[in-house]
């Protein structure tokens, strides 16, 4: 079964700084890598996702960088804001031809003014 | 924006009791899921459901768990005889088509506390 390793466990960033969260996966056969954002008391919400046919995807201040050869993908949050303070999860398909997502262990981001 | 709704938001039960967690998925979605999150840990897949049957389940989803879509709108998770280790946040999710062709939409969860 696919494993997804996420780091760091927690991250403290000053307002305006760049937040970087990394994930590593095992199986190169899979083709979908989403990031979810979770605020306290809420369910995870899809933030941004990438397929491995591109090396980068940007949506506003959020960018996913994908390195297929290293089997890694990372989330960059530019100009981090206090409102970005949340837990971020990367995910990957659990296996081939599945609806199951395997989540990383999460990164708790705190952005201080 | 349409959303997945879950009830109750918090359920306290005694060990050995049955609980039913309820969800109303987004109305035009065809795929339904339950995930759980033990406090402070990662989100774990339990089961997926399509066309009125389970399409996939994890090793966590043993004989004590069952899912049902009793009518056209509700999707339920039943735990027959709860254990202390079932205490967790349970999230229902739905998607229009299969992941990754459409995103998962999660509800806000039911916090289950087993005493």
Please state, in angstroms and rounded to a whole number, the distance separating the CA atoms of residues A9 and A27.
22
Report the chain A residue with the minimal C-alpha distance to residue B41.
A105
Q: How many CA atoms lie within 13 A of A99 on its CB side?
A: 24
* Each residue's pLDDT tens digit, A93-105: 877 677 889 999 9
- Among residues 23-82 of chain A, which lie with CB inside 8 Å of chain B? 31-32, 34, 36, 41-46, 49, 51
Query: How would you classify residue A41: left for phi > 0, otherwise alpha for psi between -120 and 50, otherwise beta?
Result: left
pLDDT tens digits in sequence order for chain B, 115 residues long: 779 999 999 999 999 999 999 999 999 999 999 999 998 888 999 999 999 999 999 999 999 999 999 887 899 999 999 999 999 999 999 999 888 778 899 999 999 999 9
- Tell me if A55 sits within 8 A of A69, measured CB to CB: no
Q: How far is A104 from chain B (nearest CA, A)?
A: 6
- Torsion angle in degrees (nearest 10) through CA of B34, B40, B41, B46: -10
Dihedral sign of CA atoms B66, B70, B75, B80 in order: negative
Q: Quick check: A57 pLDDT over 70?
A: yes
- Tell me if B26 sits within 8 A of B2, measured CB to CB: yes
What is the CB neighbour count within 10 angstroms for residue B95?
22
pLDDT at A28: 67
Please state, in angstroms and rounded to a whole number, the distance separating the CA atoms of residues A28 and A52.
9
pLDDT at B39: 86
Instruction: Look up residue B56 and give its two tokens.
Output: 């996939």
pLDDT at B78: 98
Instruction: Look up residue A37 and give its two tokens.
Output: 């954002």
């Amino acid at each position: 079964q696919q494993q997804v390793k996420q780091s760091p466990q927690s991250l403290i960033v000053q307002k305006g700084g760049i937040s970087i969260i990394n994930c590593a996966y095992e199986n190169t056969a899979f083709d979908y890598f989403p990031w979810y954002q979770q605020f306290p008391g809420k369910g995870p919400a899809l933030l941004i996702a990438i397929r491995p046919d591109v090396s980068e995807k940007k949506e506003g201040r959020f960018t996913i960088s994908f390195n297929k050869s290293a089997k890694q993908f990372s989330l960059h949050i530019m100009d981090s804001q206090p409102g970005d303070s949340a837990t971020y999860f990367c995910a990957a398909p659990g296996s081939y031809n599945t609806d199951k997502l395997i989540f990383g262990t999460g990164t708790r981001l705190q952005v201080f003014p | 924006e349409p959303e997945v709704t879950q009830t109750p938001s918090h359920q306290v039960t005694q060990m050995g009791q049955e609980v039913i967690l309820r969800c109303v998925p987004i109305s035009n979605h065809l795929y339904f899921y339950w995930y759980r999150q033990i406090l402070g840990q990662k989100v774990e897949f339990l089961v997926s459901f399509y066309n009125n049957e389970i399409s996939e389940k994890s090793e966590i989803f043993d004989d004590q768990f069952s899912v049902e879509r009793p009518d056209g709108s509700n999707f339920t998770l039943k735990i027959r005889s709860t254990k202390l280790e079932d205490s967790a946040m349970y999230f229902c999710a739905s998607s229009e088509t299969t992941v990754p062709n459409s995103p998962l939409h999660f509800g806000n969860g039911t916090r289950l506390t087993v005493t």
